[in-house]
Each structure stands twice: as structure tokens, then as C-alpha cells.
Amino acid sequence: MKDRYEFKKPKTVITFDGNFIIMSRGEHDMSITKHMRGETRIPINKILSIKFKKPSLTSRGYMQFSLPRTGIHGIARTIDQAENAVTFGKDQLAEAEEIKAYVESLM
């Protein structure tokens, strides 16, 4: 397990700080939407599931951490937010699987 993982397209750095996953993206990265820029802190103990798709010949893979959210009617549901996801190519599949296994062991 490394301390720091770097993914490209969009450039995302994943680090771990105690019980949090920290995803950092450039403040001025025009290839992503504004709400994805900067730092996202994901509490590991709040993660309900990890959506994971391996890359194929025509598409990049992704890993997304799903968190709970209560709607306006008080109904608890899972929410998938773009800022809780990272995309990767075949060359970084092993790193993504390593992160997934580590987070699953803490869930």
C-alpha cells in the first residue's frame, strides 16, 4: 500500500489521512466541472459501497465511493457524486484494485 496514488484524465491524487480518503484535483483544471475541483474528503466509515468498472478497449475504468444521504422526505438512500470518483486506464488498474481492496478491508 502506497501513501499516494496519482491518476490522470482528470489528474487526481488520492491519499489517506486516518479514516479519510482525500481526492485532490487542480483548482484550475478546465477538463472537469467546478464542483469536482479542489479537495474532497471521504470518510471511510460512511462508505456504503464501491462501484468499480475495469477499463476496456474503448473506455476508461472507474472507481466511485457511494455515501449515504437523507432526502427531503427523510428517506435514506445512496448517493453517487462525481467528486467521489476517479477514472483510470489499463496501466493503472493494479493501483485502483489495491485502493479498492484496502478501503473494503476498512469498511
Chain mean position to CA 22: 9
Q: Looking at the predicted structure, is the pLDDT value of residue 10 above 50?
A: yes
All three cell numbers of 57, joined, read: 478497449
Chain mean position to CA 97: 12
Q: What percent of the chain has pLDDT over 70?
A: 76
Distance CA 76, CA 39 (A): 25
| pLDDT, tens digit (0-9, with 9 covering 90-100), for 53-99 | 999 989 999 999 888 775 555 545 555 666 788 889 999 999 999 99
Length of the chain: 107
